[in-house]
Amino acid sequence: MSKKVVTFDETSHTYTHKDLGKFISVTTLLGKYKKPFDSHYHATRVAEREGVTKEMVLEMWEAEKNRACDRGTEIHKLLEDYINFGETAANYNWLFKTYNNVVERTIDKFQKVLCENILYNEEHKVAGMSDLIYEHSGDEFTVGDFKTNKKFRFSSSFGERLLAPVEHLHYCEFNSYALQLSMYAYMYEKLTGKKCRKCVIFYLKENRFLPYHINYMKSDVEAI
């Protein structure tokens, strides 16, 4: 498998196959199975409750989203440099320590780890960037992924569900991430002929990674 088959443009966040052109990203594809968030409707409700304008609420949400995105990008870059090159950064020893601890506790013995690896499927023209692929002996692998967002729900408080053909799943972060990692696992299986052993989310909460094991949802990925 060669990264040169599919390239990623960070500015436009697009994947391009050398022969087949543009591929849809995993994030965009999975977004098609979520009900659109009506930000203006919900902002109006919050504004009325808090006694402020809708515009103020929208601006606050946008600022919070940007802060979270910037922090997530920084954490990912620090860990990528640490895993690939052994580079550390001042004031971030806690980050590398908690990563080492969670890997030692949750990942079976592995031969190598691939970080920020482009995965793709030519049949469906889908591509994505996996945070971590741990390769074990015996042609097996584990998919890992860093998550740094504030919310991490395991169900929907209002009973909301994803759209068909995965409407049996609640609309929440856990299920969204489970599908994402399962899609990475599916593509890596197809590209390498290896088998997925397990998938693990590393959720950073209060400066400590919490491991969440998920089922490999292969049948749901095939349905999508």
Tens of pLDDT, residue by residue over 174-188, are 999 999 999 999 999
pLDDT of residue 68: 74
Cβ atoms of 185 and 130 within 8 Å: the answer is no
pLDDT of residue 76: 94
Beta strands 14-17 and 6-9 are antiparallel
Structure tokens at 43: 């902002």
Structure tokens at 127: 């591509």
Tens of pLDDT, residue by residue over 35-63, are 877 677 777 887 888 788 888 878 887 88
| Selection from 105, 104, 130, 108 nearest residue 117 by Cα | 130
User: What parts of the chain have a pLDDT lower than 50?
Assistant: 1-2
Cβ atoms of 207 and 99 within 8 Å: the answer is no
pLDDT of residue 2: 46
Cβ atoms of 100 and 79 within 8 Å: the answer is no
